Structure 1
Amino acid sequence: MNSAELVQAGRLEEALAALQTEIRHKPEDTRLRLFLFQLNCILGRLDKALTQLQAIASLDAETMLMAQIFRPVIACELLRRDVFAGKRTPIIFGEPMEWVGLLVRANELIAKGEFTAAAELRAQAFDAAPATAGKINGEPFEWIADADSRFGPMLEAIIEGKYYWVPFCRVQKIESEKPSDLRDLVWMPVQFTWTNGGSVPGHIPVRYPGTEESADGPLRLARQTGWCQQAGDTFLGMGLRVLATDANEYSLLECRALELTPAA
């Protein structure tokens, strides 16, 4: 099996070894080196991914543009790791509301393993957060939340080289295309439209924090979602991000259009 077939089979470490061999045989093949960059992103080998990105950046206009886009995205992913290790705090998009601070503090407690205390703060945050109605792919709902307890009414986003937590109530619309490359399984490219009418491209992390450390190929390839329950109703996700509404659940990768109606 070649490297692409091994990735398709979810055998990622074997795919990496096969791809490295293929590159040794065809060192000038840009396509293989681009594949290596993306596979390193899937595996969470971000330093290696940056090295590979630097190596291919000067080859042509397409790879130069990719390097300009993904250098800051990778830097944000490294910061994201620190956030969920309790070492950093995220930037909040828009004027911070009191419940947002409670949710940030709850996640700091989760990083310390203090799940019961975190659950108390999170419950207060969820009670105070506004319910945001809207549609996903045309299907209506009365409220939406990330199914992972760390996020709830909050969305992770990478915008203009910065890592944000964005309250759903700040969003008017999120549009995306069907994933076409491995890197889209790590960071989904989207177009954000805000409640003030502004619009900007960005990325949403597809996988829950720490997924890259899993030995499970389908989780790392964002084909599945796994859950770990802590302290009663605390659910921490691995693999593919899931959005829950009062009507249904949706994997992030199937959401082509998310339209939200700000609370009155």
Structure 2
Amino acid sequence: MASIDLAMQFSSADPLAHFDDLRKMIQKQPQRSDLRIFLFQIYCVQGEWMKAATQLDVLLELDASSKPMVDTYREALRCEALRREVFDGKRSPLVLGQPDDWLALLIEALRVDAEGRPEAASELRAKALEAAPATSGKLDDVAFAWLADADARLGPVVEAIINGKYYWVPISRLTRIEIDKPADLRDFVWAPATLTLENGAVNVALIPTRYPGSERESDAALRLSRATDWREQPGGAWHGVGQRVLTTDQSEVALLDVRVIAFDTPLVESPSSDEADAEASDSAAQANG
């Protein structure tokens, strides 16, 4: 019961305010795996990825049954470093399927932004968003004509960690997104989700709950995905910090308030697993080209 009481304490109050208390508890009871899990989660909220990884190593030594969780979040930590490089314009993301021209423009805009040419980057994004297909569907049973991330750096793209790799998934390639209700502090960093692709493939995924760089914000509400703020950039673009927001022609909805998005995307023939892996590899090569 102690772990349940601890879970309630850390989820209902500001968990960052209890950081020192938690470390003292660990010093007294270093073998308690539940304490290590909470420390790992706080380090994730703070963006202290190396310290978070160390806690996963300790957790696995204490509790061999934690291996599935440890493996999942080790990859998530690694993907956060790659994600930062993508938004810094230093790398291209993996893309599911063949990257369309509009998606290549979105990726190029990040590079152009990093070169200190925000106006040119905004022009590229405007062209990309104009060319991207609009996908209709229902968000928790409310119909929409189109859906996109409210941050123009992404637009009709879903960031996702799938099989330990960081992907950009075009919304036009999805038929369904199911997002779990938050149950742990780490869900405010990565939201567990299930993505169904146009070929019928179902993928367990983690969707980054926060916009990139949110872990460096001084406001704890932004780091904890309890709020969203918008920062105007040179060139007129607006970048989000804090919890991700989805926008449609009907409304704006915070990511963690969403349970099911059903798209009107037609199904296509499903490739074999080998073909799918090759397609992803080819897409990565093209995106980096």
TM-score, normalised to structure 1, is: 0.94
Pick aligned residue for 1:259 from 257, 262, 287: 262
Deviation sequence 1:63-110 (CA, Å, 0-9, x none): 222111111111111111111122211111111101111000111222
Question: Matched residue pairs, number?
Answer: 262
Tell me what 1:148 maps to: 151
Deviates more, 1:245-254 or 1:229-238: 229-238
Q: Is the 8 A contact 1:11 1:217 kept in 2?
A: no
- Find the aligned partners of 2:108 and 2:236 in 1 and give their Cα distance: 17
Deviation of the 1:20 alpha carbon: 1.1
Matched, 1:27 2:2: no
Tell me what 2:21 maps to: 18
User: Could you tell me which amino acid in structure 2 is paired with residue 212 of structure 1?
Assistant: E
Deviation of the 1:62 alpha carbon: 3.7
Pick aligned residue for 1:112 from 103, 112, 115: 115
Matched, 1:190 2:221: no
| Partner SS for 1:58 | helix
- Find the aligned partners of 1:11 and 1:57 in 2 and give their Cα distance: 23
- Find the aligned partners of 2:219 and 2:67 in 1 and give their Cα distance: 32
Deviation of the 1:181 alpha carbon: 0.2
Structure 1 pair 182/11, CA: closer, same or farther in 2 (3 Å)? closer
Deviates more, 1:147-156 or 1:102-111: 102-111
Tell me what 1:52 maps to: 55
Tell me what 2:75 maps to: 72
Tell me what 2:277 maps to: none
| Partner SS for 2:187 | helix
- Find the aligned partners of 2:94 and 2:50 in 1 and give their Cα distance: 23
- Find the aligned partners of 1:196 and 1:144 in 2 and give their Cα distance: 20
Matched, 1:218 2:221: yes
Pick aligned residue for 2:134 from 131, 136, 142: 131
- Find the aligned partners of 2:8 and 2:216 in 1 and give their Cα distance: 21
Deviation of the 1:60 alpha carbon: 2.8
Task: State the percentage of identical aligned residues.
Answer: 45
Higher share in helix: 2
What's the Cα RMSD here?
A: 1.9
Pick aligned residue for 1:162 from 162, 165, 172: 165
- Find the aligned partners of 1:141 and 1:112 in 2 and give their Cα distance: 36
Q: Is the 8 A contact 2:221 2:227 kept in 1?
A: yes
Deviation sequence 1:140-159 (CA, Å, 0-9, x none): 00001100110011111100
Structure 1 segments, 4+ long, off by >3 Å, are 2-11
Deviates more, 1:237-246 or 1:23-32: 23-32
Identify unmatched segments of 5+ residues in structure 2.
Answer: 1-5, 268-289
Deviation of the 1:263 alpha carbon: 7.5
- Find the aligned partners of 1:249 and 1:68 in 2 and give their Cα distance: 34
Deviation of the 1:49 alpha carbon: 0.5
| Partner SS for 2:23 | helix
Pick aligned residue for 1:205 from 208, 226, 235: 208
